[in-house]
Structure 1
Amino acid sequence: METLLVSVEDAARAIGGSRSTVYRLIDSGDLERVKIGRRALVTTESVRAYVDGLVAADR
């Protein structure tokens, strides 16, 4: 089974940014956040889509 949700810290590592950057991207709608209890998780699909958008914009 593939990983569908990652912590904010893992999302930050995946994009080479900081926790603050991830929270800004969540606030702007670029990354999708899911709350389970008190824990904020980011969908891996939204991380991939964000990075794909960056690559496409850089071409």
Structure 2
Amino acid sequence: MSVTASFDLLLRGGRVICPASGVDGLKDVAIRNGKIAAVASDILPTSAREVVDVGG
């Protein structure tokens, strides 16, 4: 069975601030084709081709 990553890059554990949506906290940001594709508290690292820990 072939598994392909749905995201190109995953930035894990960085602080995300978005006043428009009221988000302010540690989140993961997934990028696909140069655009933000998902922002969530815990995105699986296996869902991306490259993973960068941006915490701290």
Pick the structure with more helix per residue. 1
TM-score (norm. length: structure 2): 0.23
Q: Which has the higher strand share?
A: 2
Q: Which has the higher contact order (CA 8 A, sep 6+)?
A: 2
Using the size of structure 1 for normalisation, the TM-score is 0.22
Larger C-alpha radius of gyration, 1 or 2?
Answer: 2
